[in-house]
Amino acid sequence: MLQLDKVTVNYGSFRALDNVSIHAKEGELVVLLGANGAGKSSIFLTVSGLNKTGNGSIRFRNKELVGMKPSQIVHDGVVHCPEGRKLFPGMSVLKNLTLGAYVHRADKKGISRSLEEVFALFPILHEKKDLPAGSLSGGQQQMVAIGRALMGRPKALLLDEPSLGLAPLVVKQVFDVIERINKAGTTVLLAEQNAYAALKIANRAYVIESGRIVMEGNRDELLNNEEVRKAYIGA
Ligand X SMILES: Nc1ncnc2c1ncn2[C@@H]1O[C@H](COP(=O)(O)OP(=O)(O)OP(=O)(O)O)[C@@H](O)[C@H]1O
Q: Which positions ≥6 away from 219 have C-beta within 8 Å? A: 199, 200, 202, 203, 204, 205
CB of 40 to ligand X, least distance (A): 3
Q: Please report whether residue 41 would count as binding Mg ion according to CB under 5 A.
A: yes
Q: Please report whether residue 216 would count as binding Mg ion according to CB under 5 A.
A: no
Segment interacting with Mg ion (CB under 5 A) among 35-43, 46-54, 127-135, 207-215: 35-43
Identify which of residues 41 and 114 has a Cβ nearer to ligand X in the complex: 41
Dihedrals phi, psi of 192, to nearest 5 degrees: -150, 150
197 binds, among Mg ion, ligand X, none (CB under 5 to 8 A by kind): none
Q: Is the dihedral of CA 202, 205, 210, 211 positive or negative?
A: negative
Helix-strand-coil percent breakdown of the chain, rounded to 5? 40, 30, 30
Identify which of residues 46 and 182 has a Cβ nearer to ligand X in the complex: 46
Q: Under rule CB under 5 A, which residues in 76-135 are in contact with Mg ion?
A: 83
Identify which of residues 45 and 118 has a Cβ nearer to Mg ion in the complex: 45
163 binds, among ligand X, Mg ion, none (CB under 5 to 8 A by kind): none
Identify which of residues 83 and 117 has a Cβ nearer to Mg ion in the complex: 83
Identify whether the C-beta of residue 158 lies closer than 8 Å to the C-beta of residue 78.
yes
Amino acid at 166: L
Amino acid at 72: Q
Q: Please tell me the distance from the alpha carbon of residue 147 to that of residue 220, in angstroms, as a whole number.
A: 30
Write out the residues near ligand X by the rule CB under 6 A: 11, 14, 16, 34, 36-42, 83
Rg (CA), the chain: 17
96 binds, among Mg ion, ligand X, none (CB under 5 to 8 A by kind): none
CB of 94 to Mg ion, least distance (A): 28
CB of 165 to Mg ion, least distance (A): 13
Identify which of residues 29 and 43 has a Cβ nearer to ligand X in the complex: 43
Identify whether the C-beta of residue 137 lies closer than 8 Å to the C-beta of residue 129.
no
Residue nearest to Mg ion (CB): 41
Identify whether the C-beta of residue 139 lies closer than 8 Å to the C-beta of residue 81.
no
DSSP letter for 232, please. Answer: I
Amino acid at 75: H
CB of 216 to ligand X, least distance (A): 16
Identify which of residues 41 and 163 has a Cβ nearer to ligand X in the complex: 41
Q: Please report whether residue 163 would count as binding Mg ion according to CB under 5 A.
A: no
Site residues (vs Mg ion, CB under 5 A): 40-41, 83
